[in-house]
Amino acid sequence: MLHRSSAVLSCLALALVATATGAQTAPPAAPAASATAPAAAQPATQRLRGTLQSFDGSTLVLAERSGEVLRLALADSFSVSEVLPIALTAIQPGSFVGAAAMPSADGHLLALEVLVFPEAARGSGEGHYPWDLQPGSTMTNATVADVVAQAQGRTLTLRYKDGEKTLNVPAGAPVVTFKPADRSLLVPCAKLLVTAQLRNGVPTALRAMAGRDGFTPPM
């Protein structure tokens, strides 16, 4: 069992519950004659962004961007990926990307960052939905149907199963990809994006996406 202040644990618990999808309460008890009641839904996952304070092989201590210091156990399936910058020109028609963006006055999206997925991860999270990078931001995971060069960046047509979006990518927007890595990236001061979940009341890291040499995953 991990030791952390009850206030921090309560805060993370509330945040995880607040971001859950679907029903948030247990279903009514089944009549005695019925079959066994359905199992309770698993707590939702949450993205935690921050700076690694320490890692001892079994516990991540993360200074989250909210200012909280979180102690996270590791799931049995815990994995590490390295996030690394690539050129804007790496975005080509047919690329499968994930773009965090803000709405702009022209009705298009303005990219905050673009992640070019490895081919093995094509189709991950396809669609357009709210994102928690900034207030009001969205995420669009889609195939690039068209790329138009602009004086200061690119304009992308993104197509996904339920629709299409136009994304303006300014020249300075971070463009990244990721690849499998190991725990050697988990050094003090590393910048992390951690997918976490409450398991038996314990904040637990499922996956960490890490930058090397101070690089911050922009997602």
CATH number of the domain enclosing 46: 2.40.50.320
* 29 located within any domain: no
Q: What span, in angstroms and rounded, lies between the C-alpha atoms of 22 and 78?
A: 25
Closest CA relative to residue 206, chosen from 60, 82, 84, 24: 60
Find the domain containing 52 and state its range: 6-20+40-83+182-211
- Decide if 193 contacts 47 (C-beta within 8 A): yes
- Decide if 176 contacts 115 (C-beta within 8 A): yes
Q: What is the mean pLDDT of the chain?
A: 86
Mean pLDDT along residues 99-109: 96
**Per mean pLDDT, which range of 23-37, 44-58, 120-134, 135-149 is the poorest?**
23-37
Q: How confident is the model at residue 76 (pLDDT cuts 50, 70, 90)?
A: very high
Q: How confident is the model at residue 29 (pLDDT cuts 50, 70, 90)?
A: very low
pLDDT of residue 12: 41
4: left (phi over 0), alpha (psi -120 to 50) or beta: beta
126 and 167 in one domain? yes
112 and 69 in one domain? no
User: pLDDT > 70: what percent of the chain?
Assistant: 82
* 158 located within any domain: yes
Closest CA relative to residue 110, chosen from 152, 162, 47, 48: 152
Residue 100 has pLDDT above 90, yes or no: yes
* 113 located within any domain: yes
pLDDT tens digit sequence for 175-201: 999 999 999 999 999 999 999 999 999
173 and 95 in one domain? yes
pLDDT of residue 173: 97
* 219 located within any domain: no
The CA–CA distances, whole Å, from 14 to 8, 9, 17, 36, 208 equal: 10, 9, 5, 29, 21
Q: How confident is the model at residue 40 (pLDDT cuts 50, 70, 90)?
A: low
Q: Is 185 helix (H, G, I), strand (E, B) or coil?
A: helix
Q: Is 114 helix (H, G, I), strand (E, B) or coil?
A: strand
* 57 located within any domain: yes
89 and 77 in one domain? no
Q: Which amino acid is at 48?
A: L
pLDDT of residue 71: 98
3-class secondary structure for 186-215? CCCCCEEEEEEEEECCEEEEEEEEEECCCC
Mean pLDDT along residues 74-92: 97
pLDDT of residue 85: 98
130 and 93 in one domain? yes
As a whole number of Å, the CA-based R_g of the chain is 19
* 35 located within any domain: no
71 and 92 in one domain? no
User: pLDDT > 90: what percent of the chain?
Assistant: 79
Residue 63 has pLDDT above 60, yes or no: yes
pLDDT of residue 87: 96
Helix, strand, coil content of the chain in percent (nearest 5) = 10, 50, 40
79 and 119 in one domain? no
* 103 located within any domain: yes
Q: What span, in angstroms and rounded, lies between the C-alpha atoms of 73 and 47?
A: 15
* 33 located within any domain: no
pLDDT of residue 28: 33
Closest CA relative to residue 122, chosen from 102, 107, 143, 136: 143
159 and 109 in one domain? yes
b vs e for 49-61, b when ≥16 Cβ sit within 10 Å of the residue's Cβ? bbbbeebeeeebb
The total domain count for the chain is: 2
Q: What span, in angstroms and rounded, lies between the C-alpha atoms of 166 and 180?
A: 30
As a whole number of Å, the end-to-end CA separation of the chain is 30
pLDDT tens digit sequence for 45-57: 999 999 999 999 9
pLDDT of residue 213: 96
